Amino acid sequence: MNFTSPRRRFASAAVAGIALTGLLAACGGNDSQDSGSGSKGSGPVTLDFWGWANGQEAVVKAFNASHKDVQLKYTKVTDQLTMQKQLTNAVKAGNAPCLLQNTGEYVTSWVSQGALADITPYVESSKDKFNAGSWATGQVQGKVYGVPTASAPAFTIYRTDLFEKYGLKAPATWDDFIAAGKELKKHNVKITNYAGEDPSTLEVLAMQAGAHWYGIDGDSWVVNFQDAGTLKAAKVIQEIVDNDLNSKLSFADYAAVQRNYDNGGTATRQISTWQMSGMVQNFTKSFGKWALSPWPTFKGEAAKTPAGTNQSGNLTLVTQDCDNKEQAAAAALWMSTDSGAVKTMASPETGSGVMPALADSDSYVSEAISEKLLGKNYEPAKKVVTDSLGTITTDWTFGPNWTAMFTKMQDEWAKVVSKEQKVTDLLAHMQKWTVDDLKQRGISVKG
């Protein structure tokens, strides 16, 4: 599915409402003194803003044109993973930017390191402008650290010409998906692509199946990579891998992956709206041959889509180093609510094809999907996207060591894709590794 590359996936997961002081490592920030980014003195306040999403330069330009007292200075970062490395260095040096784009899974980790500012007083009054799932993404222990920028409808995009040629229908269930993959394999076509560096495939299927890798019990974190939901997801993935139904193209060569889809080497993707921008920008042959269908269900279960497929980013965060937190929070709100900014980011042509995090985000579906890519399937696709917004899971929790855990999982996932180990081997390894890592960080954990 390749949700994490080249721009890491986000999920609107609920870490909100965790009111337990011992759940984060004992290394919080000092709120008594501000330092770092954001100029003071005469003239307008200038706020450094780091991001990587297409369209942000245009949004910053529009913001600066409409604001005299506050200006944004934009720096484009290569991608989501590079952001984490650069932010780590900036936090250590005490010169982090005031504003930065990031994704929901990293919020708890950065809060535990004292890197983010509590902006609750500045943004809480705007809560009702956003959908509940997206708003929860920026919260830890009931405090708000970021303004959401996007929702993540999730669905399947597939090659209609290949499915029609080989007598196939859009897969309604994962069983259908595997069956279609076996038929396509006879004709040297893969049903999906599993990049060796991208275990988000396992994450989102586990999320859909009701898994909870991290949870809370009293004053401790609970870790469970081997619950029933995760094992259900593992079974689907293992069957796809065992039967060689997947391509194994790394997103390190992004152009090659896109050519493979464009040339018909791989017939489907489970994606969100933002991935369409990469398809539109790189395809040359298959415009009009793609259609959307709902995210496959587990047999006998109601529709349920994972909370995101990543995103070119779902939050604008304010850092603790920022001298002008109130102005930074206001700028973050403007970028997520101004109609012109929202439309710029929602379009696959001018932005990243992101669905807004607003309460009325379904009204932006037309802007967020590409008529050029879908052709005659454009109008039916609108309902698929809108319907998926109503089935997104919101009960997934990111743990305080998510960054380190996911990095470790990438190594283990590569071994799954290359058939060096089973998915269940990966899960057993991650169970022990994650518990041990949390203990080493001084965080109370059960598992």
pTM (predicted TM-score) = 0.80
Task: Give residue 160's identity as a one-letter amino acid code.
Answer: T
Q: Is 422's pLDDT higher than 90?
A: yes
Q: Which is more confident, 29 or 377?
A: 377
Count the alpha carbons within 13 Å of 92 in the hemisphere toward its beta carbon: 6
Instruction: Give the Cα separation of 162 and 185 in Å (integer).
Output: 12
Question: Which pLDDT band, with edges at 50, 70 and 90, does 275 fall under?
Answer: confident
Question: Which pLDDT band, with edges at 50, 70 and 90, does 37 fall under?
Answer: low
Digit-coded pLDDT (tens) for 167-217? 999 999 999 999 999 999 999 999 999 999 999 999 999 999 999 999 989
Q: Which is more confident, 141 or 317?
A: 317
Q: What is the pLDDT of residue 6?
A: 34
The rounded mean pLDDT for the chain is: 88
Q: Which is more confident, 134 or 290?
A: 290
| 8 A C-beta contact, residue 353 and residue 347 | yes
Digit-coded pLDDT (tens) for 355-379? 888 988 888 888 888 999 999 999 9
Most confident range, picked from 104-113, 305-314, 329-338, 396-405: 329-338
Which residues, 6+ apart, have CB-to-CB distance to 168 below 8 Å?
Answer: 162, 180, 183, 184
Q: What is the pLDDT of residue 273?
A: 82
127 C-beta neighbours (distance < 10 Å), count: 12
Question: Which pLDDT band, with edges at 50, 70 and 90, does 431 fall under?
Answer: very high
Q: Is 18's pLDDT higher than 70?
A: no
Closest alpha carbon to 232 in 255, 253, 209, 248:
209
Digit-coded pLDDT (tens) for 125-160? 999 999 877 888 888 888 999 999 988 788 999 999
